Amino acid sequence: MNFFAGSDHAGLELKRYLISLLQEGGHQVIDVGTDSAMSCDYPDFAHTVAEHVLENPGSFGLLTCGSGIGMSIAANRHAGIRAALCHTSLEARLSREHNDANVLVLGGRIIGTELAKDIIEAFVKTPFAGGRHAGRIRKIEEC
């Protein structure tokens, strides 16, 4: 899988950890920033990741900020982006299986690294189920 990863200052350390896990798993990851712990604006990175995912069909996004809420709101402003804020591996699996999520969002101040590892593994391993879920995705995209 190919990922574009972005974070603000609050999600920086979690993003770095998850990038290393993805790379160890053989995935390609392009980090679009931030690379600094200085305060910055999460929408800048959410928009950049969303644009890259839309320009590269079949790719995925990874976004981290303090809670994950702001990143998911900003990313989901882009038609064609289905950003899922996940707190459990079950949510990650269902976001892929039922919602064909193409961006995973995590809160660096909310979850620890072991849980984040479980979540990203579930996200990566789960394909979209299609079937009845495909019609629901079409309805989302019609808005």
Question: Which of 47, 87, 98, 133 is the catalytic position?
Answer: 98
Active site residue 98: yes
Q: How confident is the model at residue 139 (pLDDT cuts 50, 70, 90)?
A: very high
Q: Tell me the per-residue pLDDT of 75-125, one tens digit each, with 9 for 90 and over.
A: 999 999 999 999 999 999 999 999 999 999 999 999 999 999 999 999 999
Q: Tell me the per-residue pLDDT of 9-46, one tens digit each, with 9 for 90 and over.
A: 999 999 999 999 999 999 999 999 999 999 999 999 99
Q: How far is CA 126 from CA 42, 96, 97, 111, in A?
A: 27, 6, 6, 21
pLDDT at 143: 81
Q: Tell me the per-residue pLDDT of 48-73, one tens digit each, with 9 for 90 and over.
A: 999 999 999 999 999 999 999 999 99
Cross-strand pairs, 109: none
Q: How far is CA 7 from CA 39, 83, 98, 130, in A?
A: 11, 14, 26, 30
pLDDT at 101: 98
pLDDT at 129: 98
> For 109, what's the count of Cα atoms within 13 Å in the CB-facing half-sphere?
10
